[in-house]
């Protein structure tokens, strides 16, 4: 073997290409031969481009191009690292047969010409050299097509003609890194890059045009209509499933949200770690191929293993550096940092002083390496930009989304949000054992006075299991509010709810937030390592 995967990774100076070639078997004169063993665990077989497990053609070309650039970098000697190699032109591409999960691919790439150390022309081929016969793909029958391809290819001199997957002719440009930065990105010596527009949210394979996650709101405040419409506008829509019993309700909500959001929409669920039926609800969401899961109050470790099994990213919530570090160590894809201005349950148990979101974000940003999402009290575009400057990659907002036409909750609940004054916003004790931020209602007055009705043991559904201190029934209180019975209801809200003045559409709200953020970024850009246009 000429190069191992580790050696390849040292040669190619990018952290996250779409895929890695596994090994280079040989480099002789102008020809290089490499291999890749695909696996059903590879993310691109899991509905990345299409909804069935075959390798997208663009990634077959990517493997060929990567193999070609390894050859070119070898030929350029030590100086190659000063250059970017950009496969800028695919002049022809023929695809002959599909690649299934488990197939082993061989890449054979020939350097046809290298002009003035600036442009290189290649011919590359990919072959399946070892098939995964047991592929369960419904398209496995397409292998029958091989015989036909084999026949067509008889004239070819390639010894692998029958197994040929792709032939591509492409050009690679060699661009001096420093020149690229000054010429194309405007970076002058020592001057950092400036982002003058709200950047998208990119976390692993997740991509949302707008870096806003609509916070999950239980019980049944954020369902498919809100989440679907948020995702349709390019942000991330979250269905809250805490308080649900039936996994089929979770599946049905996700399906309906997707119908509204369209194929590009990013839909997630939020579930409290203390929720009853935790595992069955989480599994249902994963089977429905939800794009992400945010784990709220109560840290469950078993969700991470499931996330890996189903390839669903898990976001942990944290209100301290300690819990953020724990989430990172367990394998979370991102951490939602929630400060004390949030609505609903607050992650500051007795004895832990309330902290502002921005202070926790600043503290965690330098230490935890995975992306951070800031939550709690974020109201307008200025707040969003402030959180990005503090080190967050995006924000989670909930209160603003209650006062939208599409929010799934009863109109009376929305009216309570609209009418709330500063002095109506209070901190109550929740039977979960955490404080919660809510708006004063007759029931809330009773909770504050310690006179709320005790739960009826005959009706208790055990919604939060053993952690419940039975001071009142939180499920009933939240259900009453969401159905419009404000007298007996608990209406959660963030500390800035008094600033909400009207009910708008999700589209109007998101456009307003983006407009406000962009106006600020145009004046005072964000300092970034990568620019998005």
Ligand X SMILES: Cc1cc2nc3c(=O)[nH]c(=O)nc-3n(C[C@H](O)[C@H](O)[C@H](O)COP(=O)(O)O)c2cc1C
List, by residue number, the catalytic residues: 48
Beta strands per DSSP E along 341-456: 344-345, 372-375, 394-397, 425-429, 435-439
Q: Decide if residue 343 touches ligand X (CB under 6 A).
A: yes
Comparing CB distances to ligand X, the nearer of 206 and 497 is: 497
Q: Decide if residue 378 touches ligand X (CB under 6 A).
A: yes
Say which residue the tokens 């061989």 belong to.
106
Query: What residues numbered 487-506 form the site for ligand X, per CB under 6 A?
Result: 492-494, 496
Tell the smallest beta-carbon distance from residue 472 to ligand X (Å): 17
Tell the smallest beta-carbon distance from residue 327 to ligand X (Å): 13
Q: Decide if residue 272 touches ligand X (CB under 6 A).
A: yes
Contact between 271 and 282 (Cβ < 8 Å): yes
Tell the smallest beta-carbon distance from residue 415 to ligand X (Å): 14
Contact between 67 and 32 (Cβ < 8 Å): yes
Cβ-count burial 408-418 (b if 16+ within 10 Å, e if not): bbbebbbebbe
Contact between 173 and 88 (Cβ < 8 Å): yes
Mask: binding to ligand X, 399-438, rule CB under 6 A, as x and -? x---------------------------------------
Q: Decide if residue 253 touches ligand X (CB under 6 A).
A: no
Of 11-19, 144-152, 170-178, 336-344: span binding ligand X (CB under 6 A): 336-344
Q: Decide if residue 199 touches ligand X (CB under 6 A).
A: no
Of 72-80, 100-108, 197-205, 341-349: span binding ligand X (CB under 6 A): 341-349
293: DSSP letter: E
Q: Decide if residue 217 touches ligand X (CB under 6 A).
A: yes
Tell the smallest beta-carbon distance from residue 354 to ligand X (Å): 13
Contact between 478 and 243 (Cβ < 8 Å): yes
Tell the smallest beta-carbon distance from residue 484 to ligand X (Å): 14
Q: Decide if residue 291 touches ligand X (CB under 6 A).
A: no
Tell the smallest beta-carbon distance from residue 278 to ligand X (Å): 13
Q: Decide if residue 344 touches ligand X (CB under 6 A).
A: yes
First to last CA, the chain: 41
Comparing CB distances to ligand X, the nearer of 376 and 394 is: 376
Q: Decide if residue 215 touches ligand X (CB under 6 A).
A: yes
Comparing CB distances to ligand X, the nearer of 348 and 492 is: 492
Tell the smallest beta-carbon distance from residue 266 to ligand X (Å): 16
CA–CA separation, 257 and 253 (whole Å) = 6
Q: Decide if residue 375 touches ligand X (CB under 6 A).
A: yes
CA–CA separation, 13 and 41 (whole Å) = 24
- Among 53, 98, 102, 216, interactor with ligand X by CB under 6 A: 216
Contact between 59 and 87 (Cβ < 8 Å): no
Q: Decide if residue 338 touches ligand X (CB under 6 A).
A: yes
Contact between 497 and 487 (Cβ < 8 Å): no
Contact between 166 and 486 (Cβ < 8 Å): no
101: DSSP letter: T
Contact between 251 and 244 (Cβ < 8 Å): no
Element (H, E) at 118: none
Q: Decide if residue 396 touches ligand X (CB under 6 A).
A: yes
- Bridge partners (DSSP) of residue 92 are 169
Q: Decide if residue 376 touches ligand X (CB under 6 A).
A: yes
Of 41-49, 212-220, 447-455, 506-514: span binding ligand X (CB under 6 A): 212-220
Comparing CB distances to ligand X, the nearer of 99 and 294 is: 294
Q: Decide if residue 398 touches ligand X (CB under 6 A).
A: yes
Half-sphere exposure of 38 (CA within 13 A, CB side): 32
CA nearest to 341, candidates 355, 320, 362, 361:
355
CA nearest to 243, candidates 222, 219, 267:
219
Tell the smallest beta-carbon distance from residue 402 to ligand X (Å): 6
Tell the smallest beta-carbon distance from residue 378 to ligand X (Å): 5
Comparing CB distances to ligand X, the nearer of 44 and 379 is: 379
Q: Decide if residue 218 touches ligand X (CB under 6 A).
A: yes
Tell the smallest beta-carbon distance from residue 120 to ligand X (Å): 50
Mask: binding to ligand X, 302-331, rule CB under 6 A, as x and -? ---------------x--------------
User: C-alpha dihedral over 314, 319, 321, 325, to 10 degrees?
Assistant: -20
- Among 66, 132, 270, 333, interactor with ligand X by CB under 6 A: 270
Q: At what angle do helices 357-365 and 321-330 cross, to 10 degrees?
A: 50
DSSP reduced 3-state for 493: coil
How many beta carbons lie within 10 A of that of residue 326, not counting itself? 16
Of 131-139, 217-225, 247-255, 454-462: span binding ligand X (CB under 6 A): 217-225
Half-sphere exposure of 361 (CA within 13 A, CB side): 29
- Bridge partners (DSSP) of residue 121 are 113, 171
- Among 236, 240, 269, 364, interactor with ligand X by CB under 6 A: 240
Angle at 209 between CA 504 and CA 84, to 5 degrees: 160
Q: Decide if residue 441 touches ligand X (CB under 6 A).
A: no
Residues 6+ away with beta carbon under 8 Å from 41: 311
- With CB under 6 A, what is the number of residues at the site for ligand X? 28
Q: Decide if residue 341 touches ligand X (CB under 6 A).
A: yes
In the complex, which residues of this chain contact ligand X (CB under 6 A)?
215-218, 221, 240, 242, 270, 272, 296, 317, 338, 341-344, 375-378, 396-399, 492-494, 496
């Amino acid at each position: 073997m000429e190069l191992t995967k580790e050696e390849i990774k040292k040669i190619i100076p990018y952290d996250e290409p779409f895929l890695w070639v596994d090994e280079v078997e040989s480099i002789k004169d102008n020809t290089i031969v490499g291999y890749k063993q695909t696996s059903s665990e590879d993310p691109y077989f899991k509905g990345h481009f299409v909804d069935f497990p075959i390798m997208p053609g663009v990634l077959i070309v990517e493997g060929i191009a990567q193999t070609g650039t390894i050859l070119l970098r070898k030929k350029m000697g030590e100086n190659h690292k000063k250059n970017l190699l950009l496969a800028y032109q695919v002049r022809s591409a023929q695809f002959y047969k599909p690649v299934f999960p488990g197939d082993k691919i061989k890449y054979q790439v020939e350097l046809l010409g290298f002009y003035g150390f600036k442009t290189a022309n290649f011919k590359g081929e990919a072959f399946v050299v070892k098939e995964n016969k047991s592929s369960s793909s419904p398209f496995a029958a397409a292998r029958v097509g091989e015989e036909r391809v084999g026949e067509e290819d008889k004239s070819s001199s390639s010894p692998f003609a029958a197994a040929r997957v792709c032939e591509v002719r492409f050009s690679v440009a060699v661009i001096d890194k420093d020149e690229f930065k000054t010429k194309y990105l405007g970076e002058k010596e020592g001057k950092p890059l400036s982002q003058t527009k709200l950047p998208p949210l990119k976390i692993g394979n997740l991509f949302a045009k707008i870096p806003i996650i609509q916070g999950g709101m239980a019980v049944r405040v954020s369902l498919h209509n809100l989440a679907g419409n948020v995702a349709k506008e390019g942000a991330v829509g979250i269905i809250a499933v805490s308080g649900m019993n039936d996994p089929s309700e979770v599946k049905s909500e996700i399906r309906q949200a997707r119908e509204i959001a369209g194929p590009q929409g990013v839909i997630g669920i939020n579930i409290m770690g203390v929720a009853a039926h935790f595992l069955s609800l989480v599994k249902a969401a994963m089977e429905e191929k939800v794009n992400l899961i945010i784990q709220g109050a109560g840290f469950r470790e078993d969700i991470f293993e499931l996330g890996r099994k189903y390839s669903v990213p898990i976001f942990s919530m944290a209100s301290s550096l300690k819990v953020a570090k724990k989430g990172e160590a367990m394998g979370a894809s991102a951490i939602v940092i929630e400060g004390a201005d949030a609505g609903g349950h607050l992650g500051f148990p007795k004895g832990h002083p309330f902290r502002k979101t921005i202070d926790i974000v600043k503290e965690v940003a330098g230490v935890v390496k995975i992306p951070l999402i800031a939550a709690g009290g974020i109201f307008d575009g200025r707040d969003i930009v402030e959180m990005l400057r503090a080190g967050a990659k995006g924000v989670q907002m909930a209160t603003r989304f209650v006062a939208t036409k599409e929010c799934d909750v009863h109109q009376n609940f929305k009216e309570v949000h609209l009418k709330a004054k500063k002095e109506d916003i209070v901190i109550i004790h929740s039977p979960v054992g955490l404080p919660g931020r809510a708006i004063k209602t007759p029931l809330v007055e009773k909770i504050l006075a310690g006179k709320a009705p005790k739960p009826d043991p005959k009706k208790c559904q055990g919604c939060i299991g053993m952690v419940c201190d039975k001071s009142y029934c939180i499920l009933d209180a939240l259900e009453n509010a969401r159905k419009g019975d404000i007298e007996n209801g608990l209406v959660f809200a963030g500390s800035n709810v008094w600033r909400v003045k009207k009910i708008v559409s999700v589209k109007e709200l998101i456009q307003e937030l983006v407009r406000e953020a962009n106006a600020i970024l145009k004046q005072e850009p964000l300092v970034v390592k990568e620019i998005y246009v």
